[in-house]
Amino acid sequence: MKFWFITGSQFLYGEETLRQVEADSKEIVAGLKLPFTVEYKLTAKTEGEIEKIVKEANYDDECAGIITFCHTFSPSKMWINGLALLQKPWLHFHTQYNEAIPDKEIDMDYMNLHQSAHGDREHGFIGARLRIQRAVVAGYWKDPDVQRQIADWQRAAVGVMFSKSLKIMRFGDNMREVAVTEGDKVEVQLKLGWQVNTWGVGDLVKEMNAVTDGEIDALMAEYAELYTFEEKDIETIRYQAREEIAIEKMLVREGAKAFSNTFQDLHGMKQLPGLAAQHLMQKGYGFGAEGDWKTAGLTALIKAMYPDGCASFMEDYTYDYTNGLILGAHMLEVCPSIAADKPRIEVHHLGIGDREPPARVVFEGRAGKAKALSMIDIGGRLRLIAQDVECVKPISPMPNLPVARTMWRPAPNFLDGLKCWIIAGGAHHTVLSYDITTDTLRDFARIMGIELVEITDRTEPYTLERDLKLGDIIYG
């Protein structure tokens, strides 16, 4: 993925100024240390150039967004027709080539060349006037915090590109009678681009039966590098490997990057996929249990934004009111990318699902700041809820709990945090991400045109209620 840098200018100041604008722009681009490449494209001087470059950006699958900056004044009427066609994320970078004013040397030529204070206001106006959603970053281009804001936007824009082609494979329907994991798949495809479709569990079983011992041996070697396990469990683990290989083959065949399954539909399968789902998540696939395709998609999205990051499908399970902590876990499927230490594979009876005891990866989640994310269908539209959480090392061992687990304290404090989450309608299923930033979330929601509800240190329950009503007006 690449980003295109377009500098705004005009012919008014002469050829020499335009040459300098181009040289300075290239230097700015070269000086940006970002997770994704930025390419200087052109210094725009005419309506035709702008329309042409926007059309090219729209149709280039590798272009994840455009960054604009007006080194000089660049009259905005010439931007209207081009920007009206823009279908890629846009960041208006309000910067300036020089950090300080050279008081001794400054003259009118200098003023005409370095006038983004002036030109970017014209550019800002047309963005506001056209009501095109764009991110605005203001500050000196060498400032690390300014570059961090651009990096955060890049992550969001790359997430948008990923989202628009995301396919989610469902094995079985949503868990019977559950409401929060339901949703309007047509609306989700329209808003986020997600293609959510179903495949028969019988087809998966057929695929599982075709997996060879050689394929299982190779995956077992991979498991042995990542996890510890005991000899006595090998046959059970090999069955999970068979499931993983079959699921991944179907995902690859369909170009899907996320999947859901349900313990209520396992016909022909001896174990609920535990280790299989966990290792697929660790490899970057999204997963949602109990047919929760929304959380599956969200997990895949976060993993696409942070390929080396820590993120997992998660469930708020039980509370410790005495210490003000939530215990997060699932019946099996927590991603080992959030493990504090080398995880181990264990085999235990599972009370739900009526199948053989499944192998699963067990570990404690790492401590640190994170966000719990939930996407719900609030009726005709989507709401993305993000709560700041502080993950802590579980305060004491839980020797009888046979699943991966983590504990966290939600913002603004334990009880108000719970209250806010319930008021907002957040699900019990979430994505726990240690990487995603507030800026990236806001950029993503702005580009996608969906409501983002943030629960942070500054959130107060009653104000939140009012914000949700405001959201009904804005997005309803």
The footprint of Mn ion (CB under 5 A) covers 289-290, 315
* Helix, strand, or coil (residue 87): coil
Q: Which CB sits closer to Mn ion, 207 or 316?
A: 316
Q: Which CB sits closer to Mn ion, 24 or 292?
A: 292
Q: Which CB sits closer to Mn ion, 150 or 289?
A: 289
Residue 193 C-beta: closest distance to Mn ion, Å: 25
Residue 312 C-beta: closest distance to Mn ion, Å: 13
Residue 41 C-beta: closest distance to Mn ion, Å: 47
Residue 134 C-beta: closest distance to Mn ion, Å: 38
The residues near 469 (Cβ < 8 Å, ≥ 6 apart) are none
Q: Which CB sits closer to Mn ion, 152 or 315?
A: 315
Residue 290 C-beta: closest distance to Mn ion, Å: 5
Residue 428 C-beta: closest distance to Mn ion, Å: 6
CB contact at 8 A, 90 and 132: yes
Alpha helices in 352-430 (DSSP H): 414-424
Q: Which CB sits closer to Mn ion, 208 or 431?
A: 431
Q: Which CB sits closer to Mn ion, 289 or 404?
A: 289
Alpha helices in 193-233 (DSSP H): 201-209, 213-226
> E strand or H helix at 257, and its extent?
none
The residues near 448 (Cβ < 8 Å, ≥ 6 apart) are 160, 163, 191, 192
233 residue type, one letter: D
Instruction: Say if residue 270 is exposed, middle or buried (CB neighbours under 10 Å; 0-12, 13-18, 19+).
Output: middle
Helix axes 293-305, 185-192, angle to 10 degrees: 20
Q: Which CB sits closer to Mn ion, 272 or 359?
A: 272
Strands 405-410 and 382-392: antiparallel
The residues near 308 (Cβ < 8 Å, ≥ 6 apart) are none
Strands 359-362 and 344-347: antiparallel
For residue 264 the two structure tokens come to 């209520």
Residue 44 C-beta: closest distance to Mn ion, Å: 51
CB contact at 8 A, 254 and 371: no
Residue 76 C-beta: closest distance to Mn ion, Å: 51
Q: Which CB sits closer to Mn ion, 219 or 289?
A: 289
Residue where the block lists tokens 């404090």: 413
